[in-house]
């Protein structure tokens, strides 16, 4: 999705549905899926984007993988991802102008994501 979104999403989702394209986080998401989710969630673009080698991305992806090694079968809800990335370990790994906590509060309060 990050390199060639037109391959995975042939429509302009933002224009048609008034919301960005989303990704679910599950055992097949990998670090690229986690990076995409984080960048979208945090509203990062351009040089601010976290790549799949960023320590926070790899740490969260490892947590996701562990969930499925332990027998999980359902996708990880966005609210659960938010809860996990708000842990002190993740907060200390992501160094961007806006803190994850501020983003979480803004995102949860947003009616755009309340239906997910």
* Residue 25: closest CA among 54, 65, 59: 65
Q: What does the block give as tokens for 79?
A: 């609210």
Q: What is the pLDDT of residues 75-102, one digit of tens each?
A: 999 889 988 887 655 655 555 444 555 5
Q: What is the pLDDT of residues 16-27, one digit of tens each?
A: 777 667 788 999
Q: What is the pLDDT of residues 37-46, one digit of tens each?
A: 998 888 888 8
Backbone φ and ψ for 16, nearest 5 degrees, come out as -75, -40
């Amino acid at each position: 999705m990050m390199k060639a979104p037109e391959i995975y999403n042939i429509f302009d989702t933002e224009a048609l549905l008034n919301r960005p394209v989303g990704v679910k986080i599950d055992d097949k998401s990998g670090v690229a899926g986690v990076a995409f989710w984080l960048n979208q969630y945090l509203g990062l673009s351009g040089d601010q984007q976290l790549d799949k080698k960023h320590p926070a991305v790899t740490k969260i992806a490892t947590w996701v993988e562990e969930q499925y090694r332990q027998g999980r079968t359902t996708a990880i809800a966005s609210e659960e991802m938010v809860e996990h990335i708000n842990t002190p370990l993740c907060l200390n790994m992501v160094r961007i102008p806006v803190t994850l906590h501020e983003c979480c509060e803004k995102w949860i309060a947003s009616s755009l994501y309340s239906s997910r």
